[in-house]
Amino acid sequence: MQIDSNILFVRQPDVVACELGTGMALLNMQEGKYYRLNDTAKLIWDKLEEPSSVESLVDSIVNRFEISVADCTGDVVAVVTKLCEDNLVRQFSA
C-alpha cells in the first residue's frame, strides 16, 4: 500500500463493531464475515471513525505505546491494508 499523507482511510458504514475485553469484533454485513481485532488494531479502528491518514494513526499509537515510529508505521500499514482488503475500511484522497 502506498503511504501518502493525501490518502485518508475511514470505516465502511456497513460494518458492525462490538467491544470484546481489550479487543473488538467486527461484522462485515455485506459479506457476513466476522473479524477479531487486538487492542492495537482496536485503537486504529476507533481512530478510523473519522477520516485519518497513516501518519495520524501512527502518532496516536506511538503516543500510547512504547514503539518506534518506524516499527509502528509498518504495523499500521499492515493493519490498514488488511482492513481495506476485507472491505472494512475504504481509502480516498484528501
Domain that residue 83 falls in: 7-88
Q: What is this structure's pTM? A: 0.90
Predicted pLDDT of residue 22? 83
Pairing of strands 23-28, 15-20: antiparallel
Whether 38 is in a domain gets the answer: yes
Torsion sign (Cα): 38, 17, 43, 45: positive
Average pLDDT, stretch 23-42? 93
Residue at 94 is within a domain: no
Residue 93 counted as domain residue: no
Q: Decide if 61 is inside a domain.
A: yes
CB contact at 8 A, 15 and 29: yes
What pLDDT does residue 94 have?
76
